Amino acid sequence: MAPPVSPLAPETFAHLPPLDGVRLATHASGLRYKGRTDLLLAEMAPGTTMAGVYTRSLASSAPVDWCRKAGVKGKGKARALVVNSGNANAFTGRAGDQAVAATVKTAAQLIGCKETEVFVSSTGTIGVPLPFEKITAALPRAVVNLKADAWLEAAKAIMTTDTYPKLASRHVRIGDVPVTINGIAKGSGMIAPDMATMLAYVFTDATLPAPVLQKLLTKGCEKSFNAITVDSDTSTSDTLLLFATGQARHKRISDVADPALKAFREGLDAVLLELAHLVVKDGEGATKFVEITVRGAASAKAAKRIAFSIANSPLMKTAIAGEDANWGRIVMAVGKAGEKADRDRLTIRIGGIDVACNGAAVPNYDETPVTHHMKGRNIEIEVDVGVGNGRFTAWTCDLTHGYIDINGSYRT
Amino acid sequence: MAPPVSPLAPETFAHLPPLDGVRLATHASGLRYKGRTDLLLAEMAPGTTMAGVYTRSLASSAPVDWCRKAGVKGKGKARALVVNSGNANAFTGRAGDQAVAATVKTAAQLIGCKETEVFVSSTGTIGVPLPFEKITAALPRAVVNLKADAWLEAAKAIMTTDTYPKLASRHVRIGDVPVTINGIAKGSGMIAPDMATMLAYVFTDATLPAPVLQKLLTKGCEKSFNAITVDSDTSTSDTLLLFATGQARHKRISDVADPALKAFREGLDAVLLELAHLVVKDGEGATKFVEITVRGAASAKAAKRIAFSIANSPLMKTAIAGEDANWGRIVMAVGKAGEKADRDRLTIRIGGIDVACNGAAVPNYDETPVTHHMKGRNIEIEVDVGVGNGRFTAWTCDLTHGYIDINGSYRT
């Protein structure tokens, strides 16, 4: 039985317009799931450039290893993306590399491109050999079904424990030429169980060299996907890819600092942030969306560590689930972060209301409005640690019985 | 209503014998709890030496700050220990320091010692001013009730969310002179909510200089209290103190490397480890005691980081609660630890049974005996990461609905 849709899911799904130079197809290849699609094939126009950001896990999956290598060897050129759900092809030894090789070879032949122009991702159970013959058998059938208007199907095909598909889109201009940015993602938990890798693919018809794309993606990722957490666990397969098909005929851009890129950068950042938020809101068992802003830290890096110390604290997350304005746990989480904080200048606000100031509870503290805020779906926590100008915002969800239910009996 | 006693609680409590040079008294001072003791006073003989290990939290509580300072200023001499439960006296600003000062002053006058010879701890809610007048009023009544045989009462007085008192004892010899080591602890979670600071006090009648005591304690702590975790959260108040009353007339020891200390060191380590395990077994909502041994790491430090990455992973802990031999999550946790591991030589055993070997599931893996092991109370996980000789063992418990229940509605 499918789990109920997250209470934090959006009311409607973003409609993604067709994007010049991208065609999509999905297929039910029967890797694990019955009666649903589990394979996505995306074909990109010749001349497409790419950039990637991958898991930092040292036990990264065979598909991640391949993408890293292909991006470098092929100098950031891309023609195809193949994603399967149901099996992560991680921790599968040499057989994992062989499965990737077979998939890449088949796709390259079908599309008519180099193997280094084919990117692959797998998401699902860890440690189970990938029956890649099902993928290589499905690809010829997928390739004849490629079409421009299949974004929702694409977002659905890559889902695992996700309770809703995740899509985001922006129209921007480079110079006076309109450009589209479309993104899809999956993940139910920053990374939650073996079935909930975070995958995100963003496509644009802009014409941008691979090094410029990589800089835009690395920077944009820092304040979006690298600013969210559901349970502090990092998948072996996390992958974020950005493809630019080069169909939009705007002025030539060779430098990421080109002022003509401003709107594009903002649009890309917005798509990344929207997708990242959609992932958190589908966090396993989530009932609250939590924004944590840390100010006054010694540096932005210090602020990030403190924000994540709060965002990953099981005590904070259970208190939020219990709608308990338990700010003592915020103090605890700030203290354990290991970053400089002035205890006697520490200030904490919940829902915009001061609860603690200069290292102690505010005089005549009235918890009523704070408790009211805690009953809402969107929780805001602000902390000023009083030592500098470092600032960071992180997003997370609460820790509920739902998380235990989903993860305590996931495979059975 | 009191929560049910942890299913991992020992059948009986260790009986602690009287220890030369220590007298104990407990009192119900009414700080927070009704109808139970919440204050412990321990008086030590003149000449008692001490050593301490404290929380690394940068938001450490006023009592922790005091102990740190008094230990240095007083050159490791001790005459009294005052511990209250129900209020942590943490994040209470300047009022917190004043509460400590008043407690210390009163105790020093009653015992007839220097203020730097009085050590204090507080455990309970964070951010609530400590009504220290209740403590200073109770101390004169406690001091007349001091007696040698009150160890169980002492362990009970310092409990907060603990479901059982924690005690351990060993008899050893230094040379041919018998020496006793008695320890009590509290903590329900490595550190769990604001009410579950980890506190531990170990007493011995051995005659040892403070610097020797400090080296023994720092070393012993590394493989006991620093090797356990319930939820990765660190309290503002964690404190471990060791007192030596100097009543045992053994040969003079001036060097921690003296071979005559071997049995004492082993006895102390055993008391520390037993207390640490008792804390984990009372972890909030715990139903399984989990031992995680990492071998083959680049260093002992690397092994420790990997062991804690596994021990703190919510996905691992929920899988154990669900009695699911989900070793893919162990791979994930090894990968995210950020320490060197050879994916293709990674070996995982659960309950002594190989489940994965050289980077892939063992051929013809039969899950039946592993699943049987997962149904027990004591879970053993062994990981060899295949790069060196570094080794570390950590202990934790599972993550259950009980944890969410306790922490989601703790204050209400």
Structure confidence at residue B196 as a pLDDT band (50, 70, 90): low
CB-based contact A399 B400, cutoff 8 Å = no
- pLDDT for residue B123 is more than 50: yes
pLDDT in tens, B153-181: 999 999 988 899 999 999 999 999 999 99
* Burial class of residue A337 (count of CB atoms within 10 Å of its CB; 0-12, 13-18, 19+): buried
Q: Which of residues 214-243 of A touch B (CB under 8 A)?
A: 231-236
pLDDT recorded at residue B190: 40
Is B62 within 8 Å of B89 (Cβ atoms)?
Answer: yes
Structure tokens at B18: 């009287």
pLDDT in tens, A316-336: 888 899 998 888 889 888 988
Is residue B197 annotated as part of the catalytic site, yes or no? yes
Is A292 within 8 Å of A394 (Cβ atoms)?
Answer: yes
pLDDT recorded at residue B133: 97
Q: Which of residues 335-354 of B touch A (CB under 8 A)?
A: 335-341, 343-344, 346
| A33 Cα distance to chain centroid | 23
Give the pairing type, strands A177-186 and A199-204: antiparallel
Q: Return the closest-CA partner of residue A203 out of A275, A101, A144.
A: A275
A340 contacts on B by Cβ (under 8 Å): 58
Residue B108 has a CB neighbour count (10 Å cut-off) of 17
* Burial class of residue A368 (count of CB atoms within 10 Å of its CB; 0-12, 13-18, 19+): exposed
The tally of CA atoms less than 13 A away on the side-chain side of residue B297 is 23
Nearest to B233 among A193, A314, A358 (CB): A314
Q: How far apart are CA A171 and CA A222, in angstroms?
A: 22
Q: Return the closest-CA partner of residue B40 out of B169, B214, B205, B160.
A: B160
Indicate the Cα dihedral angle A258, A260, A263, A269, nearest 10°. Answer: -20
Nearest to B59 among A55, A91, A331 (CB): A331
Q: How far apart are CA A84 and CA A190, in angstroms?
A: 19
B233 contacts on A by Cβ (under 8 Å): 313-315, 329, 332-333, 336
A92 contacts on B by Cβ (under 8 Å): 360
A356 contacts on B by Cβ (under 8 Å): 91, 127
Provide Rg for chain A, Cα atoms.
22
CB-based contact A404 B404, cutoff 8 Å = yes
**What is the location of CATH 3.60.70.12 in chain B?**
22-281
List CB contacts of A129: < 8 A, sequence separation 6 or more: A92, A95, A96, A99
B408 contacts on A by Cβ (under 8 Å): 318-319, 321-322, 324, 400
Q: How far apart are CA A92 and CA A98, in angstroms?
A: 10
Percent of chain B exceeding pLDDT 90 equals 67
Q: CB pairs below 8 Å between A and B: how many?
A: 222
List CB contacts of B112: < 8 A, sequence separation 6 or more: none
CB-based contact B361 A192, cutoff 8 Å = no
Structure confidence at residue A145 as a pLDDT band (50, 70, 90): very high
CB-based contact B318 A403, cutoff 8 Å = yes
Q: How far apart are CA B275 and CA B154, in angstroms?
A: 14
Structure confidence at residue B191 as a pLDDT band (50, 70, 90): very low
Of A105-119, A184-198, B170-184, B267-281, the poorest mean pLDDT is in A184-198
Percent of chain B exceeding pLDDT 70 equals 95
- pLDDT for residue B411 is more than 90: no
| A172-187 residues labelled b (16+ CB within 10 A) or e (exposed) | bebeeeebbbbbbbbb
pLDDT recorded at residue A256: 96
What is the rounded average pLDDT of the residues B380-387?
A: 96
Structure tokens at A405: 């239910």
Sole residue written with tokens 């990674």: B346
DSSP conformation class of B227: G
Higher pLDDT, B55 or A38: A38
Q: Does A59 touch chain B (CB under 8 A)?
A: yes
| B202 Cα distance to chain centroid | 11
Nearest to B231 among A128, A315, A339 (CB): A315
pLDDT recorded at residue A2: 61
DSSP conformation class of A328: H
Structure confidence at residue B399 as a pLDDT band (50, 70, 90): confident
The CATH number of B289-408 is which of 3.10.20.340, 3.40.50.1820, 3.40.220.10, 3.30.70.20? 3.10.20.340
Q: Return the closest-CA partner of residue B175 out of B220, B207, B204.
A: B207
Q: Which of residues 184-213 of A touch B (CB under 8 A)?
A: 191-194
pLDDT in tens, B31-77: 988 899 999 999 999 999 999 999 877 778 899 999 999 999 999 99
Q: Which residues of A are catalytic?
A: 197
Catalytic residue among B37, B197, B204, B229: B197
- pLDDT for residue B393 is more than 60: yes
CB-based contact A231 B409, cutoff 8 Å = no
Q: Identify the closest residue of chain A to B398 by CA–CA distance.
A: A408
Amino acid, res. B238: D
Instruction: Indicate left, alpha or beta for A67 from its phi (over 0: left) and psi (-120 to 50: alpha).
Output: alpha
DSSP letters, B170-213, are EEEEETTEEEEEEEEEE-SSTT-STT---EEEEEE-----HHHH
The minimum CA-CA distance between A92 and chain B, rounded to whole Å, is 5
Phi and psi angles of residue A335, each rounded to the nearest 5 degrees, phi first = -65, -35
A314 contacts on B by Cβ (under 8 Å): 231-233, 314, 399, 403, 407
Q: How far apart are CA B42 and CA B79, in angstroms?
A: 8
The minimum CA-CA distance between A205 and chain B, rounded to whole Å, is 35
Q: Which of residues 286-305 of A touch B (CB under 8 A)?
A: none
- pLDDT for residue A376 is more than 50: yes
Q: How far apart are CA B335 and CA B320, in angstroms?
A: 19
Handedness of CA A178, A208, A101, B364 (dihedral sign): negative
pLDDT in tens, A390-411: 999 999 999 888 888 877 764 4
Is B6 within 8 Å of B286 (Cβ atoms)?
Answer: yes
Q: Does B332 touch chain A (CB under 8 A)?
A: yes
CB-based contact A95 B360, cutoff 8 Å = yes
- pLDDT for residue A191 is more than 70: no
Which of A57, A60, A91, A97 is the mutation pick for testing B, counting most B CBs within 10 A? A91
Q: Does B334 touch chain A (CB under 8 A)?
A: yes
pLDDT in tens, A200-210: 999 999 999 99
The residue count of chain A comes to 412
Is B178 within 8 Å of B59 (Cβ atoms)?
Answer: no
The minimum CA-CA distance between B208 and chain A, rounded to whole Å, is 33
Phi and psi angles of residue B40, each rounded to the nearest 5 degrees, phi first = -120, 130
pLDDT recorded at residue B232: 62
- pLDDT for residue A234 is more than 70: no
pLDDT recorded at residue A312: 87
**Strand ranges, E, within B253-376:** 289-297, 347-350, 353-357, 360-361
Structure confidence at residue B233 as a pLDDT band (50, 70, 90): low
CB-based contact B331 A126, cutoff 8 Å = yes
Average pLDDT of every residue of chain A? 91
| B325 Cα distance to chain centroid | 29
The CATH number of A22-281 is which of 3.40.50.620, 1.10.3720.10, 3.60.70.12, 3.30.310.50? 3.60.70.12
CB-based contact B318 A234, cutoff 8 Å = no
Structure confidence at residue A195 as a pLDDT band (50, 70, 90): very low
Distances (CA, A) of A35 to A32, A60, A184, A196, B192: 10, 30, 22, 20, 44
**What is the location of CATH 3.10.20.340 in chain B?**
289-408
CB-based contact A318 B408, cutoff 8 Å = yes
The minimum CA-CA distance between A232 and chain B, rounded to whole Å, is 7
B193 contacts on A by Cβ (under 8 Å): 315, 326, 329
Structure confidence at residue A220 as a pLDDT band (50, 70, 90): very high
A299-303 contacts: CB < 8 A, separation 24 or more? A299/A388, A299/A390, A300/A390, A300/A391, A300/A392, A301/A390, A302/A339, A302/A340, A302/A388, A302/A390, A303/A339, A303/A390, A303/A391, A303/A392
What is the rounded average pLDDT of the residues A265-271?
A: 96
- pLDDT for residue A193 is more than 70: no
Interface confidence (ipTM) of the complex: 0.72
Q: Does B327 touch chain A (CB under 8 A)?
A: yes
CB-based contact B332 A57, cutoff 8 Å = yes
